[in-house]
C-alpha cells in the first residue's frame, strides 16, 4: 500500500523553493508572516531582493511596530518609501499602525483645533469600536501604497496574531460600517434635527461629512479586501522554525488564512541546524534530532500543497546587503547540507 | 356520536395534555416526525447523528494523539475536528429552526383542537340541552344553575356538562397520579426520577395550552 501511496504522491510534491512566487507575475501583495523571532524580516528582505531581480519595482513594507528593516539593511527607513542602498528598484518603508492613525486623525480636521477640543468624531469613533483605529490606518496606508506604482509589495508583518487581525479587519469593519451607514441613512435626518438646523456636531463637523468619510473608507477597504482574496494578486508566505510552538502557530495561521480566503502555498522553515558529520557538539546533534522530528512532520503534513523551503541557520547574523543577497539565493536554489 | 361523549372525550384530551405537559408532547411528536422514514428531516437528522458520532470519534483520537510527537497526524485530526464542528453547528441551527417552526405549528393546532374547540362547542350548542333532569327532583335554583347560560329550563347545559367532566377527570387523574407516585416511590430507584416531573407537569403546562 505504501508503494502505491508513494507513487501517487511523488508527482504532486511541490518544489522546495520560492521560485513559484517569482514566476507568478500577477502577484501584487506578498505577505510574510509567522511567530516572532523565526526570521520573518530576513525572509521578507531576501524575498524582496530576489523579486527585485525579476520585477520592475518592489516595495518592502514593514507593519511590525518593532521595525527591523532598518536593522537588516543597516539603513534608516521611515514612513516614506526610500530606495534601498545598492539597489535601483527596491524600496522600503516602515509604518507604525498606531502612529499613522494619529496622523490620519490630525490630518482630517486640519483646522488647528486638534489641540483644543480633541480631533472630533472620527477619534471618538476610533476609540468606540475596538480595532477600528488600526483598521483605518491600515486602510489609509494601503490606499497610499495602492496609488504608488510598485509592481510588487512585500509585507513584513508583525507576529502572527497581529497579522491575522489585520487581515480580518476589512471584513469586520465592512460589516460595522455597513450598519453605521444604514443607520445614518434611516435616522440621519432625525439626528440632524436634534443637532440643530445646520446639523453641526459639537466640534464643527456635520454628520453627513463624517458619514461620507466612513463610507469612502469602507469602499477602500472592500477594494483591498477583494484584492487580498484574489489568489492571482495576493499570497502569504508562512515562516516557521522546526519547533512545536512555531509549527502549531503556522498550522493555525494556515487554517485561518483559508477561512479568510487568502491564498498561501509557501512555507519557509528557518534556522535549520546542519552540524558537520564528525561534530562532537552534543547540543548541536541533540537539537538537530529534535529539528529533524518536526521537519519530518512538516514534510508529511504540507509537502503536497506547499512549497516547503528549508533554510539553514548561519553562523553569522544575516545583516547588510551582501549577506542578505547570499542568504536570498537559498530561497531559489535549495540549500545542500554539507555531507 | 353523541355530543355528551364528544365533550367528555375533548375534556379527557385537555386533561391528558395538561398532565403530560405540552412540551413533552411536542418533543415526542418532534422525535416521531424525525423518525418517519420518508420525511425530509429524517435524513438530516440521521446525518446529524452520524456526524456527532464521527465528531466524538475524532475528538477521542485527537486526545489520544500527542501533538508534539505526531504533529502531522494531530494537525490533520485538528482540521477534521474543526470542520466537523463547523458542520455540526450549522446543521444544529438548521434543525433548531425547523424545530421551532414545528413546535409553533403544533401549538397552534393543539390550541385549535382543544381550547378553540371547547369555546366553539360551548358557543354553538349553548342553547341545546345535553340531557333532561327528572322533573321535580331539584329545586328551581338548581335547575336554573345547571341550565346556565341559555339551555332550556330543566335541562343540563353544555357549559355545565363540560365543567362537570373536567372536574371529575381532574380528580380521577390526580388520584391515578397519586397512586403512580406512591408505587413509583416504593418501587425501583430508576422509576422514581420521571414521576415527580410528570406529576409536576399539569400545573406548569396549563399555561402552554
Structural domain that includes position B138: 128-182
| Dist CA B128 CA B151 (whole Å) | 6
Determine contact, residues A320/A46, Cβ cutoff 8 Å: no
For residue B59 the three cell numbers come to: 475528538
Same domain, B68 and B79: yes
Per the DSSP assignment, residues forming a β-bridge with A246 are none
Domain boundaries, chain A: 18-101+128-176+217-331
Q: What is the 3-state secondary structure (H, E, C) of A244-288?
A: HHHHHHHHHHHHHHHHHCCCCCEEEEEEECCCCCCCCCHHHHHHH
Range in A49-58, A175-184, B64-73, B194-203 the model is least confident about: B194-203
Q: Of these residues, A9, A23, A64, A263, which one is catalytic?
A: A64
How many C-beta neighbours within 10 Å does residue A108 have? 18
Nearest CB to A300 within list B68, B69, B72? B72
Closest CB to B72 among A244, A248, A297: A297
- pLDDT, average across residues B169-190: 81
Q: Three cell numbers at A191?
A: 439626528
Cβ-based contacts of A248 with chain B (< 8 Å): 67, 71
Is A309:A61 a contact under the CB 8 Å cutoff? Answer: no
Asked if B45 and B91 count as a contact pair (C-beta separation under 8 A), the reply is: no
Grid-cell match 416511590, residue found? B185
pLDDT in tens, B1-40: 688 899 999 999 999 888 888 889 889 988 888 888 777 7
- Residues of chain A with confidence (pLDDT) below 70: 1-12, 97-140, 160-173, 188-189, 191-207, 339
Q: For residues A167 and A262, give the distance between their C-alpha atoms in angstroms, rounded to a whole number.
A: 9
Q: Are residues B77 and B120 in the same domain?
A: yes
In this prediction, residues B71-98 reach a mean pLDDT of: 92
Is residue B91 domain-shared with residue B178, that is, in the same domain? no
In this prediction, residue B186 carries a pLDDT of 62
Interface test with A, best of B66, B71, B73, B80 (most A CBs within 10 A): B71
Please answer yes or no on whether B78 and A301 come within 8 Å at the CB atom.
Answer: no
Q: What is the pTM of this model?
A: 0.71
Asked if residue A240 belongs to a known ligand binding site, the reply is no
Q: Is B98 among the domain residues?
A: yes
Measured in angstroms, the CA of B68 and the nearest CA of chain A are apart by 6
Is residue B31 located within the same domain as residue B106? yes
Determine the Cα–Cα distance for residues A272 and A310; give it in Å rounded to an integer.
7
b/e sequence A9-26, b meaning 16+ C-beta within 10 Å: eeeeebebbbeebbeeee
CB contact under 8 A, A255 and B79: yes
Q: Is residue B187 part of a domain?
A: no
User: Could you give the percent of chain B with pLDDT greater than 90?
Assistant: 35
pLDDT of B77 strictly over 90: yes
Whether B119 and B45 map to the same domain: the answer is: yes
Check the annotation: does A53 bind a ligand. Answer: no
Q: Is A112 left (phi over 0), alpha (psi -120 to 50) or beta?
A: left
pLDDT at residue A239 in the model: 93
Residue A12 confidence (pLDDT): 60
Residue B72 to residue A244, Cβ atoms within 8 A? no
Mean pLDDT of chain B: 84
Whether residue B74 sits in one domain with residue B155? no
Q: How far apart are CA A92 and CA B82, in angstroms?
A: 39
Residues B108, B66 within the same domain: yes
Average pLDDT over residues B182-207: 52
How many C-beta neighbours within 10 Å does residue A248 have? Answer: 18
Q: Is the residue at B10 inside a domain? A: no
In a domain, B163, yes or no: yes
User: Beta-strand (E) ranges in A77-117?
Assistant: 82-83, 90-94
Residue B47 sits in the same domain as residue B141: no
What is the rounded CA–CA span in Å between residue B66 and residue B69?
A: 5
Separation of alpha carbons B155 and A81, rounded Å = 102
Structure letter (DSSP) for residue B37 = T
Total Cβ atoms within 10 A of residue A53: 14
* Beta carbons of A244 and B71 less than 8 Å apart: yes
Assigned CATH topology for domain A18-101+128-176+217-331? Rossmann fold (3.40.50)
Domain final position from B83, B98, B125: B125
- Which pLDDT belongs to residue A109? 46
Residue B66 confidence (pLDDT) above 50: yes
In a domain, B25, yes or no: yes
- Domains of chain B: total: 2
Give the residue from A240, A245, A247 with the most B CB atoms within 10 Å of its CB, the best one to mutate.
Answer: A247
- Residue with the bigger pLDDT between B152 and A121: it is B152
Rounded to whole angstroms, how far apart are CA atoms A229 and B43?
35
Mutate to test the interface with B, among A249, A289, A297, A303 (most CBs of B within 10 A): A297
- Read off the DSSP letter of residue B36: -
H-helix segments, A64-203: 69-73, 97-109, 114-117, 121-128, 132-147, 160-195
Q: What residues of A are in contact with residue B72 (Cβ under 8 Å)? A: 297-298, 300-301
Amino acid at each position: 500500500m505504501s508503494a502505491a501511496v508513494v507513487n501517487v504522491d511523488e508527482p504532486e510534491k511541490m518544489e522546495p523553493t520560492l521560485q513559484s512566487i517569482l514566476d507568478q507575475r500577477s502577484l501584487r501583495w506578498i505577505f510574510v508572516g509567522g511567530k516572532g523571532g523565526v526570521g520573518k524580516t530576513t525572509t521578507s528582505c531576501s524575498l524582496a531582493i530576489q523579486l527585485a531581480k525579476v520585477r520592475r519595482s518592489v516595495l518592502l513594507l514593514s507593519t511590525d511596530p518593532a521595525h527591523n528593516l532598518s536593522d537588516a539593511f543597516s539603513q534608516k527607513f521611515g514612513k516614506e518609501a526610500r530606495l534601498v542602498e545598492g539597489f535601483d528598484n527596491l524600496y522600503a518603508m516602515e509604518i507604525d499602525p498606531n502612529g499613522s492613525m494619529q496622523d490620519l486623525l490630525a490630518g482630517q480636521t486640519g483646522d488647528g483645533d486638534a489641540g483644543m477640543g480633541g480631533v472630533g468624531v472620527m477619534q471618538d469613533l476610533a476609540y468606540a469600536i475596538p480595532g477600528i483605529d488600526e483598521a483605518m490606518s491600515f486602510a489609509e496606508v494601503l490606499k497610499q501604497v495602492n496609488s504608488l506604482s510598485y509592481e510588487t509589495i512585500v509585507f513584513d508583518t508583525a507576529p502572527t496574531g497581529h497579522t491575522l487581525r489585520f487581515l480580518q479587519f476589512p471584513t469586520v469593519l465592512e460589516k460595522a460600517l455597513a450598519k453605521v451607514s444604514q443607520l445614518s441613512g434611516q435616522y440621519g435626518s432625525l439626528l440632524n434635527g436634534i443637532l440643530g438646523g445646520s446639523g453641526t456636531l459639537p466640534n464643527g463637523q456635520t454628520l453627513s461629512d463624517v458619514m461620507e468619510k466612513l463610507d469612502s473608507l469602507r469602499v477602500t477597504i472592500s477594494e483591498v479586501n477583494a484584492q487580498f482574496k484574489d489568489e492571482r494578486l495576493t499570497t502569504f508566505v508562512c515562516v516557521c522554525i522546526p519547533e512545536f510552538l512555531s509549527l502549531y502557530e503556522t498550522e493555525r495561521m494556515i487554517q485561518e488564512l483559508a477561512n479568510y480566503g487568502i491564498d498561501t502555498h509557501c512555507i519557509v522553515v528557518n534556522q535549520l541546524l546542519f552540524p558537520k558529520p564528525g561534530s562532537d557538539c552534543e547540543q548541536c546533534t541533540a537539537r538537530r534530532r529534535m529539528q529533524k522530528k518536526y521537519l519530518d512532520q512538516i514534510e508529511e503534513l504540507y509537502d503536497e500543497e506547499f512549497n516547503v523551503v528549508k533554510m539553514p541557520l548561519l553562523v553569522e547574523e544575516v545583516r547588510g546587503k551582501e549577506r542578505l543577497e547570499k542568504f536570498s539565493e537559498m530561497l531559489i536554489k535549495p540549500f545542500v547540507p554539507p555531507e | 356520536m353523541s355530543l355528551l361523549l364528544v365533550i367528555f372525550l375533548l375534556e379527557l384530551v385537555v386533561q391528558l395534555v395538561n398532565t403530560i405537559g405540552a412540551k413533552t408532547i411536542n418533543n415526542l411528536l418532534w422525535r416521531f416526525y424525525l423518525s418517519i422514514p420518508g420525511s425530509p428531516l429524517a435524513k438530516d437528522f440521521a446525518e446529524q447523528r452520524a456526524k456527532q458520532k464521527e465528531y466524538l470519534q475524532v475528538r477521542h483520537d485527537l486526545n489520544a494523539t500527542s501533538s508534539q510527537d505526531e504533529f502531522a497526524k494531530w494537525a490533520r485530526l485538528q482540521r477534521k475536528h474543526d470542520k466537523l464542528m463547523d458542520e455540526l453547528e450549522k446543521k444544529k441551527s438548521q434543525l433548531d429552526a425547523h424545530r421551532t417552526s414545528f413546535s409553533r405549528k403544533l401549538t397552534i393546532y393543539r390550541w385549535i383542537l382543544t381550547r378553540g374547540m371547547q369555546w366553539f362547542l360551548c358557543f354553538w350548542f349553548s342553547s341545546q340541552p345535553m340531557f333532561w333532569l327528572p322533573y321535580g327532583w331539584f329545586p328551581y335554583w338548581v335547575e336554573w344553575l345547571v341550565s346556565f347560560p341559555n339551555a332550556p329550563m330543566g335541562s343540563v347545559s353544555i357549559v355545565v356538562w363540560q365543567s362537570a367532566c373536567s372536574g371529575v377527570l381532574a380528580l380521577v387523574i390526580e388520584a391515578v397520579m397519586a397512586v403512580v407516585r406512591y408505587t413509583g416511590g416504593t418501587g425501583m430507584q430508576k422509576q422514581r426520577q420521571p414521576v415527580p416531573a410528570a406529576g409536576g407537569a399539569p400545573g406548569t403546562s396549563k399555561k402552554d395550552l
